[in-house]
Amino acid sequence: MRCHTIIPLLAVLGIPTIGTAAEPAQSSSHGAHVHGQAQLSFATDAQQVELLLESPVANLLGFEHAPGSAAEKAAWQQSQTLLQSGQWLQLPPAANCQLQQQQLNEPWSKSADPHHHADVELSLTYQCSNPAALTEVRLDLFRHAADLHQVDVQWVSGQQQGAATLTLKQREFRLVPAN
């Protein structure tokens, strides 16, 4: 079932998308693969919120190769659980948003190429009963991803759009146009 109605709007506005739940994302990068940086596309439409996150695996795990040791496998499992839970994303409680769907790609291709750039591609969809209260978004991903230093955000909400650069010191963006 394709529930991502916002993706065509993002594409029209020039905002990169990384996949859909109906079409699982592959390891191909839509943006530059830069360690320490990630991209987030965030869109609202009526009561639905959709976000698309793309990041080099190294930002989350400290390595890009497929997990080999028990410790690496445990770290990947922990990262998957965190990403898919959406706990790293804080939406205003008054918006009453519930996570409805999540899709996380398998970042390591089936090829044995040791130089493969592995990217995490995640899609989350929320349903919000009070979307008018959705005025700002906070990312707590920096606390969990020691090698992540910057997240470039592009957002669309109603008839407004904007962009923000988030860091450990600036982890929030507002869903209003920049003045």
Convert the pLDDT of each residue in 110-144 to its tens digit.
555 556 678 999 999 999 999 999 999 999 999 88
Rounded to whole angstroms, the Cα distance separating 104 from 121 reads: 6
- The whole-number pLDDT of residue 151 equals 96
Confidence band (pLDDT; 50, 70, 90) for 32? low
Predicted model pTM: 0.79
Q: What integer best gives the mean pLDDT of the chain?
A: 82
Mean pLDDT of 149-168: 94
| pLDDT, average across residues 58-84 | 93
Give pLDDT, residue 74.
95
**One-letter amino acid of 150:** Q
46-58 CB burial, b ≥16 within 10 A, e <16: eebbbbbbbbbbb
